[in-house]
Chains A and B, each alone.
Chain A
């Protein structure tokens, strides 16, 4: 479960073409990273998949079902965490089960499971403003998982973290992802992050955004960030991406 298909997807905003005729397929259980110059429509693409926005043309399918309206099978993880500030860690994670009207016992069981999974035991009753950035994003990930999604959508989830916390969170994310294996679409600006995390890396073109090149990444996990193969892949991706960044800037 968690097969995502995008067919000839375009999105225009008042005459500006953000995404143009984009075709992409995410295999079941695959971890895919999206790279591209700023403004190439990566976030727009995630919002289309989440059903928070609708394509101007084309269709999106999740497990063969057309995405229309808000897609409740997706777990969205935001860059700035976007936690509910008036809810505790537990309250945030329980949000999904709560709006789905799960019973209290069931809710608490789910919440506790994901609190343990992301390593937040002991912080259940803390409010978001009492947590560090890394811990906030653990809550964000747990909250998305608690809704039992078929697909994780992550919009630069570690972009606001310092370099060390970022590396740690990447490792943590892989650990969590390997425990509860679901498809993941991960937007990032960091080639290093993409090479470390993903099964495939999609480089998008400068606006109007579309798929420029796809890199397979079969390096065995756990990956060594500085291995020769990783470096070679990074080099190839950087070259492809660099050309697009140049194109975006010359416009």
Chain B
């Protein structure tokens, strides 16, 4: 079904984005001139694409007003990314071995499954109030961890369980011990799934961090930035921040997909 990505596809993709921006501009302009207004929505207050771009450019870097310092979008992105990476590393370190254990051992699966099945259905956002009072610091990192660890565990379990039993037989007849079967057959089999789990987890973690930053206050972070700009009525900056979230999330996803292609050469 899916064929390569060529010039034609690229042009269509770009056109669709351009069209969206034009539509956005037209809608806001019509609303501001009282020509057309969508019911129940105050489109007038929404910034136009151009205003958003200006706001983005104006708040990209940190600025000082006398003794006061305001962080730029760059700082906010960096702060949010750092939290996602920290939470992600912890989620990976805990999630992958847990997934291997659950996928490979019936006993571990029976012990951990009830916990996993209940806790994974509690959205990361539901943990925010708890995180605020149990963590002196790093509450938002914990929220990222909660968001990321379950996609990683579940994908690892899936990868481990998809191991071809004949490959295990082959490894055993070639002299592999039980431990070598895990390290040399089960883990390589699960590797693409583990990376897929990491990718899905990063998406969830990125959403979770923005929500967490809106509630767990710190002076930097994209979630804080958007909330603060909204509070101050600086809607152009707020929308710019929202778009930055989308673009950064997209870049993270693409990066992992490229790494996957680069390092998993055996899948055709």
Chain A residues with a Cβ under 8 A of chain B? 50-52, 70-72, 74-76, 78, 80, 82, 84-87, 95-96, 98-100, 127-130, 143, 147
Among B142-179, those with CB < 8 Å from A are 164, 166-167, 169-177
Cβ contact within 8 Å between B174 and A99:
yes
* A71-B173, A80-B166, A129-B266 known, 20 other contacts, Cβ within 8 Å: A51-B173, A52-B173, A70-B172, A72-B175, A75-B173, A76-B173, A82-B164, A82-B167, A82-B169, A84-B184, A84-B185, A86-B188, A86-B189, A95-B171, A95-B176, A99-B171, A99-B175, A100-B175, A129-B268, A147-B174
Please report whether the interface of chain A is mostly helix, strand, loop or mixed according to DSSP.
Answer: loop
B69 to chain A, nearest CB (A): 50
A152 to chain B, nearest CB (A): 11
Residues of B with C-beta under 8 A to A75: 173
The answer to whether A52 touches B191 (Cβ under 8 A) is no
A50 with B176: CB separation less than 8 A:
no
Expressed in whole angstroms, the Cα–Cα distance for A86 and B191 within the complex equals 10
Complex contact B191–A99 (CB within 8 A): no
SS class, residues of chain B in contact with chain A: helix
Residues of B within 8 A of A128 (CB): 266
For A51, list chain B residues within 8 Å (CB): 173
Q: Could you tell me if A52 and B169 are in contact, using CB atoms closer than 8 angstroms?
A: yes
Judged by a CB distance under 8 angstroms, whether B8 is at the interface is no
Does chain A have a CB within 8 A of B1? no
Distance in angstroms between the alpha carbons of A51 and B174 in the assembled complex: 12
A residues less than 8 Å from B185 (CB atoms): 84
Chain A nearest CB from B49 CB (Å) reads 46
Residues in B neighbouring A50, C-beta threshold 8 A: 169, 173
20 A-B interface contacts by CB (under 8 A): A50-B169, A50-B173, A52-B172, A72-B175, A74-B173, A80-B166, A82-B166, A82-B169, A84-B185, A84-B188, A86-B191, A95-B171, A95-B176, A98-B184, A99-B171, A99-B174, A99-B175, A127-B265, A143-B174, A147-B175
Partner of B267, one of A76, A82, A84, A85: A85
B113 interface contact, C-beta 8 A: no
CB contact between A72 and one of B170, B173, B188, B266 (< 8 Å): that residue? B173
Bound-state CA distance A71–B171 (Å) is 12
Q: B202 to chain A: closest CB distance in Å?
A: 23
- Give bound CA distance, A104 to B57, whole Å: 56
Contact of A86 with B169 in the complex, beta carbons under 8 Å: no
* Residues in chain A near residue B173, CB distance under 8 A: 50-52, 70-72, 74-76
Minimal Cβ-Cβ distance residue in A for B187: A86
Q: Does B180 sit at the interface, judged by CB under 8 A?
A: yes
Bound state CA distance, A128 and B188, in angstroms? 15
